[in-house]
Amino acid sequence: MLASGQLDSLLQSLGRFSEKLAVLGTHARGESITTRSAKIGPALIFQRMWQACCIDKVLTDLLKGRRFEFSIERAIFLTVLHRLFAPGSDRAAEKWKDEYSIEGTDNLDLHHLYRAMAWLGEVLPKDQQNGATPFAPRTNKDLVEESLFAQRRDLFTDLDIVFFDTTSIYFQGESGATIGQRGHSKDHRPDLKQMVVGMVVDQKGNPICSELWPGNTADVSSLVPVVERLKSRFGIGSVCIVADRGMISSKTLLEVEKRGWSYILGVRMRSSSEAKGVLARAGSYAQVHPKSDERNDPSPLKVKEVWVEDLRRYVVCLNEDQAKKDRFDREAVVASLRDALGRGDKSLVGNKGYGKFLDAGGKQFAVDEHKIKEEARYDGKWVLTTNTNLTAMEVAIQSKQLWMVEDIFRSMKSLLDTRPIFHKCDETIRGHVFCSFLALLLRRQVEDCGGPQKLDTKMVIA
């Protein structure tokens, strides 16, 4: 039977019922087969996260009564998934999807993605503008945030403490209809129009909401409206806001105290005479975190509580490792300055690092020893002010949690590649940035499911 080839014929006949053998047999005969492969990992994982966060349900509910010839929910999911796995322009998302198996996205074109983002940024009717900030109207993305919070809220969900910070994102070309304005650029691009993005995060690091304002909105003017909006949007009775020193001015602090809100705020040490007095106060520090050689241990931290006129409470924080670094950096700058002055190289005197320690009051430039001594007072230190009943240690620890917001902004602007923005219409711009917010929400959900390690989307099986 082997010699006659009957066995081969029998196996070949049976191979018709096996796709695998059919492919191998065709390949063995040298015949070409047209095939298409699609990656399933990204959609498989994040579709489950999408549903676990109830984003699909929220979008579907909000879209009831609206007639679109395509699925807005699928277009938004595609945009968010693209941000997580292949950050880049929205144009790239249309081609990127061809390599992946993503349910319900086969017939989506680029203009569908733009229309979906425009819907997210669409301004709500006048009767739904209650609670809007002075800087921006309420839009559909606000309804999404509020509904998502309501979906996961239970008897044990509260926002006793929230963290707030802002950043700026610049525009290219003629982008940014009215939301694009010139202001203080944290990207060091004062030549370009920008928008301000604010983010509120809870104690667990979950993004709660985002605020999108014109680029000339000052940080110190945004804190009070944000808290007011949090209370009205999410039905919060009391909230403690944690923010850095860029958010605070004497006027802002008075307004916050007048409203009876709790706060933990950073203090501008160098520009506040009262803060300088607080630093000069004698007193021993209490240890929060000891110095450790273990890489994963928290940074060393000591705290000292200071009261001014029994009315204002401050907490001075000290990181001795940071103090050593600050001293080393300053000594390096001063040594370089002395060398430059010794050579008479006045072109280096305009350096900002040099200017901090330069005495320009005499006939010749000289090193200001008083400024060096004054700057040493700030080594490794930062000052907080609070009206809470938390201990000094708890205040310092809560303040350090503000890094979560900073980490979110780094992810939004680098990993998710939100910037630069090329859209012209405010509605599409709002939707573009909000898709990054949803991507961060999914990323946080995966981190919660997978443990404390941060998610690297490149490691997800494709």
Residues 58 and 17 in one domain: no
Domain contains 5: yes
Residues 103 and 81 in one domain: yes
Domain contains 159: no
Residues 98 and 57 in one domain: yes
Whether the bond into 420 is cis, omega within 30 of 0: yes
Domain contains 341: yes
Total structural domains within the chain:
3
**Domain range holding 7?**
1-35
Q: Which residues pair with 358 in a beta bridge?
A: 367
Instruction: Please state, in angstroms and as integers, the Cα–Cα distance from residue 378 to each residue in 261, 279, 328, 382, 383, following that order.
Output: 29, 8, 13, 7, 10
Residues 27 and 46 in one domain: no
Residues 6+ apart with CB under 8 A from 182: 190, 192, 193, 194, 215, 216
Residues 333 and 363 in one domain: yes
Last residue of a domain, one of 67, 93, 109: 109
Domain contains 259: no
Residues 332 and 351 in one domain: yes
- Look at residues 454, 405, 9 and name the one whose alpha carbon lies nearest to residue 209: 405
Domain contains 85: yes
Domain contains 10: yes
Residues 68 and 30 in one domain: no
Last residue of a domain, one of 333, 348, 373: 373
Domain contains 453: no
Residues 17 and 70 in one domain: no
Residues 47 and 98 in one domain: yes
CB 125 within 8 A of CB 138: no
Tell me the pLDDT of the chain (462 aa) as tens digits: 556 667 667 666 665 666 666 666 666 666 655 566 778 788 888 999 999 999 999 999 999 988 888 999 999 999 999 988 887 777 778 788 888 888 888 889 999 999 999 999 999 999 999 888 888 899 999 999 999 988 877 645 666 778 888 888 888 777 777 888 888 888 788 888 888 888 888 887 888 899 999 988 887 788 888 888 888 888 777 778 888 877 777 788 888 888 888 889 888 888 888 888 899 888 899 999 888 888 878 889 999 999 998 888 999 999 999 999 999 999 998 888 888 887 776 656 566 677 788 777 767 788 888 899 989 999 999 999 999 999 999 999 988 888 777 777 777 776 666 766 778 889 999 999 899 899 989 988 888 776 434 444 433 333
Residues 53 and 99 in one domain: yes
Domain contains 383: no
Please give the Cα distance from 409 to 164 (Å, whole number): 11
